[in-house]
Each structure stands twice: as structure tokens, then as C-alpha cells.
A and B are shown apart, each in its own frame.
Chain A
């Protein structure tokens, strides 16, 4: 689902943000802006610096340098007011296991500084599908249920900005879909601004309108999801049986500029969507046997590459 930017009002503005943990630089000169109404995808492989950035956004961790403005105000100077307008899940949600789901939400509601009624708590629990377990102690909950409760606590005080750090981790496919649907509902119907951290490109693609990819604490790619994941720009792998014959053919044809690299019988081309069948036809007409054609969007390819490097 692709959405357009709704506003030019900046909800999050990060400038030259850096965080050092002793010798390790977790976030390095990061800049980003999130606008009102955005579903902003914050992508990166594990260890890229996403959670550290989120912790800085929520004042859990103090930045080494750089500035964070939320709702147009510096986080350092107006922290209390800013946090009253934010709901968040930071990594895996943890609760007081010896208390019930309802009591946990009641405590967190009181801490949010707003009057949260019993009815509101039950409505939120119903929204995340935990209303039938409101009286159960959280220590009896599965990871998925805790994740839902985490989402519930982030929405409890009706915040304008919702920061979700890997909200679908540990959920089954149905649970993941429900979270995605909820994000879209909150964005479309409730006009919330959502900052969604994930290490799964496809997850961000389904809900976000803007995104950034970071790696090793540094911005790698930033822009509109629609532009960045343009289906027309593809890296296409052709599996062909005769390496030398294909090389001779391609290098002496108009496809030369589209050719990127090959390893034995695997040839990679950078193509526009409609060029894929044209190249396939050209090869077949020149008696080349094509056993497979695998298209990949260039950003997807790039993201997979940095994810593999991180492993």
C-alpha cells in the first residue's frame, strides 16, 4: 500500500545524530525527517543502529552529538510534553509479569498523565484482541500476546506519533497481517504519524509511504517508497547455458549497456520492466537456451546485500 505525503509539518527532525558506546559508533551523523501523516519505514539490518536511534528519540539514551526535534521542539528542552504525544514499542515489549494485562495498562495509563477510563482500557485490549485475557497475568502470555499488549500500551493515551520498533517480531503470518492492517487503520482513519522500524523490506513496502535505509549507523538510501521500489527498475538474472556465445552476442549488440556482470552461466542485466521479454526473445531468436529469468528490484537487491553483510 503506497500513500502520499500528507503534510509538510515535520513531526520528527533528526540532524547530524551520533551515538558512541565507548569505541563503538552505533549511529553516525544520521539525518532524517518525518512529516505529519507519514508512515515512515526505518529500515536496516540487525545492528544497523535502528534501536539506538529510537532509544535516542525516546530519551532512553543520550546522544553523543546532534539534535532531535519532535513536534518542532527540541527533545532535550521539552521532553515531558513531547513524550505525552508519543506512543512507542521499543524492541520486545516487557511488562510487569506478576500483574494482569489490565493492571499493566492502568499503571502505564496513569503514567501517561491522561485520564484513561476502564472502558478505554478494555477498548484498546479489544482492538489488539486481548480483551478475553484482560485478567490474566502477563507472565502467562506468549511472545505474540506481549507484542499485542505492547501495541495496546503504545496506543493507550491516543498519541499523535507512534514509534514501533520491529512490531511484528515473533508473530505468525496472521498476526503480522493484523499488525499491518492496524498500522494502515491508524494512519488512514486516525491520521496518526507512524515511525516503523523493521529489518524486513517487504513489511515496510506494504505500509509505508516514505523510508530510509541505514547501515552501520549511516543513511544509505532515503526517499518515497514508491520511487525507491519502482517495479520498472529491475536487476534481472538470466540463467543461460553457453557463456562465451552469450558474451559475444551481448557485447556486440544494443544490450551491451544493460549488461552488468556474469558468473559462468548466470548473467545479470539492469533492465526496465518491458525490456525483460524483449531480451529474452532476442536470446532465444539467437539460439540461446534460457533456463531461468529472475527479476529483482535494485533496492531489494541492495538491501539483501547489506543484510547479508551484517550477518
Chain B
């Protein structure tokens, strides 16, 4: 199995499309850093506008933690696209290239093929989030320094002490990996159904966008189905930046996301084992 995973990773990292995600993050995040360097103070002003008359803010609020926190919010739409770009190609890419025949006629089971490709996809997802963390948090701290983290939620503005922040980021990035793994497994499922990688990428993004739109529309019917949409839980890492942390809600979100991964993966395995390879 280890050999199969190594082969899959080798194939992933020999493709140009794999680096699009790393390059995009490598370009986009420094641009955000630059924007904050130029206009970041106004963002802080905007967030604290309503309470500036009651409180005096001192210290470095525009710091690396604050910038990283805002960047992490982007994972709902932007990062899923970069994940789907690779995960959607894992199986469909073999069909497009006609290489299914080569690998399935070797003495490896279809289950082994699916598991190794899925693990390789999850490793890619991990690496992309680690890259995001490195660029946004490490580079952010290097540029803006450290300080207290100002977080605005729907009901309050919370300020975390600088000693109380890093562990939250570690868990938040871990949660981001989990959320993006759901996206990876969804794109992987679509990838097993078609013979062109464009389909899985578009389908995955369409589902994410539809779910986000449904969540955002304040109609009773949509609100009633909201708890069943996985996109609703991808941003649950925000719970970690609350005081106190609602552990029950957090664990519920973890369980729901894990259940989605298991479901999407199992369905992919079920379908792929019965698939006639005609490409």
C-alpha cells in the first residue's frame, strides 16, 4: 500500500496543475498582506467603530494573527477550488489518459487503488493547508509582528491575549484540513463517475456554491435544511476563536464532517468496484 501511495503522490506532484494551488496561495496571500500593510488600520477602525467611544485600544492590533484569521475565512470558496483541481483529476485523469487499463490489469485490487489515491489526495489537501498556514501565519507574523487578536463575532468583539492564540490556530488549521478533506472526498467521488477532470471540478464547486447560497438566504425552508449542508460546518473552526469554546458544537461539527468523508469515500469505493472500465 505504501508503494501505491508513493506512486500516486509522485504522479500528483509531476503534474503542473498540482502547483497551481501552491502558486495561487503564494501569490494571493502576500497580496493580502500588502493590502493590509497599506490599508489595514482602516479595517481595524471599521471593526471597532461602534465601541471606540467606550474603549481605548492600545497595542498592535494589526498583527500577523489578525491577518491570518481573516485569511482563514477565505477557505470556504477559494481553497475548495484548488483542492477540487487535484482531487477531481485523481480518477478522471486516469480515464482521460486511458491509463486505467494499465493499472487495473496489474495485480492490485480496486480497493487498494481507491485507498491509495484517496490518501494521496488527503496528503495534498494537508500540504496545501500547511502551505496556507506557513504563508499566512508565519509570513504574517514576520511582517506584522505579534499582538492580541481581535475577533468580531455576531454577538461580541473578543480580544485574545497573545499567549492564548497559537494553539487556537493549530486547531483551526487542523479543522480546515478536515473541512477541505470533505471537499477532496466529494471531488474524488465525482472523479470516479466521469472520464474528464473538468466535470468533477465544476460539480464540486457548483455544490459548494449552491450550499453557501442556500445557507445565506433567510427563508424558513432553506433555514430548515441548513443543518444538513456540510458547508455549514466547514467554517466551524471559528468556534475555536470564541470564549469559552463551545466544545459540544465543535465536536458535533467534527463528527459531521468525518461522516461526510466516510460516506463520500465509501460511495466512491462501492461505485468504482462495480465500474466497467471502457475508457
Residues of A within 8 A of B (CB): 21, 55, 58-62, 79-81, 83-84, 86, 88, 90-99, 107-108, 110-113, 153
**Which residue of the partner chain, among B97, B276, B277, contacts A97 with CB atoms under 8 Å?**
B97
Rounded to whole Å, the gap between the CB of B105 and the closest CB of chain A is: 5
Which of chain B's residues has its CB closest to A85's CB?
B107
Residue numbers in B under 8 Å from A83 (CB-CB): 105-107
Q: Please state if A98 and B99 are interface contacts (CB–CB under 8 Å).
A: no
Q: How distant is the Cα of A90 from the Cα of B11 in the complex, in angstroms?
A: 22
B14 proximal to A (CB < 8 A)? yes
B157 proximal to A (CB < 8 A)? no
Q: Please state if B97 and A94 are interface contacts (CB–CB under 8 Å).
A: yes
Query: Closest 6 CB pairs between A and B?
Result: A94-B98, A84-B107, A111-B106, A60-B277, A83-B107, A61-B276
> B1-33, CB under 8 A of A: which get 1 and which 0?
001100100110011100000000000000000
Q: Please state if B14 and A98 are interface contacts (CB–CB under 8 Å).
A: yes
Residue numbers in A under 8 Å from B10 (CB-CB): 107
B101 proximal to A (CB < 8 A)? yes
Q: Please state if B104 and A59 are interface contacts (CB–CB under 8 Å).
A: yes
Q: How distant is the Cα of A86 from the Cα of B4 in the complex, in angstroms?
A: 20
Residue numbers in B under 8 Å from A98 (CB-CB): 14-16
Q: Please state if A90 and B14 are interface contacts (CB–CB under 8 Å).
A: no
**Which residue of the partner chain, among A55, A61, A93, A111, contacts B7 with CB atoms under 8 Å?**
A111
Residue numbers in A under 8 Å from B7 (CB-CB): 107, 110-111
Rounded to whole Å, the gap between the CB of A179 and the closest CB of chain B is: 19
Q: How distant is the Cα of A59 from the Cα of B105 in the complex, in angstroms?
A: 7
Q: How distant is the Cα of A111 from the Cα of B102 in the complex, in angstroms?
A: 9
Q: Please state if B102 and A95 are interface contacts (CB–CB under 8 Å).
A: yes
B108 proximal to A (CB < 8 A)? yes
Q: Please state if B14 and A153 are interface contacts (CB–CB under 8 Å).
A: no
Q: How distant is the Cα of A60 from the Cα of B103 in the complex, in angstroms?
A: 10
Q: Please state if B108 and A111 are interface contacts (CB–CB under 8 Å).
A: yes
Q: Which residues of B in the span 75-130 have a Cβ within 8 Å of any Cβ on A?
A: 97-109
B49 proximal to A (CB < 8 A)? no
Q: Please state if A79 and B109 are interface contacts (CB–CB under 8 Å).
A: yes
Q: How distant is the Cα of A81 from the Cα of B108 in the complex, in angstroms?
A: 9
Q: How distant is the Cα of A91 from the Cα of B278 in the complex, in angstroms?
A: 10
Residues of B within 8 A of A (CB): 3-4, 7, 10-11, 14-16, 97-109, 274, 276-278
Q: How distant is the Cα of A21 from the Cα of B277 in the complex, in angstroms?
A: 12
Residue numbers in A under 8 Å from B97 (CB-CB): 94-97
Q: How distant is the Cα of A84 from the Cα of B109 in the complex, in angstroms?
A: 12
Which of chain B's residues has its CB closest to A108's CB?
B102
Which of chain A's residues has its CB closest to B3's CB?
A110
Rounded to whole Å, the gap between the CB of B108 and the closest CB of chain A is: 6
Which of chain A's residues has its CB closest to B93's CB?
A96
Q: Please state if A55 and B277 are interface contacts (CB–CB under 8 Å).
A: yes
Given contacts A92-B98, A94-B97, contact A60 B14 (CB under 8 A): no
Rounded to whole Å, the gap between the CB of B102 and the closest CB of chain A is: 6
**Which residue of the partner chain, among B11, B99, B105, B108, contacts A58 with CB atoms under 8 Å?**
B105
Which of chain B's residues has its CB closest to A107's CB?
B7
Residue numbers in B under 8 Å from A79 (CB-CB): 107, 109
Residue numbers in A under 8 Å from B16 (CB-CB): 98
Q: How distant is the Cα of A99 from the Cα of B105 in the complex, in angstroms?
A: 20
Residue numbers in B under 8 Å from A95 (CB-CB): 97, 99, 102
Residue numbers in A under 8 Å from B276 (CB-CB): 21, 55, 60-62
Residue numbers in B under 8 Å from A113 (CB-CB): 106-108
Q: Please state if A94 and B101 are interface contacts (CB–CB under 8 Å).
A: yes
Q: Please state if B105 and A80 are interface contacts (CB–CB under 8 Å).
A: no
Rounded to whole Å, the gap between the CB of A27 and the closest CB of chain B is: 13
Which of chain B's residues has its CB closest to A95's CB?
B99
Q: How distant is the Cα of A99 from the Cα of B15 in the complex, in angstroms?
A: 9
Residue numbers in B under 8 Å from A60 (CB-CB): 100-101, 104-105, 276-277
Which of chain A's residues has its CB closest to B273's CB?
A62
Which of chain B's residues has its CB closest to A153's CB?
B102
Q: How distant is the Cα of A61 from the Cα of B105 in the complex, in angstroms?
A: 11
Which of chain B's residues has its CB closest to A19's CB?
B276
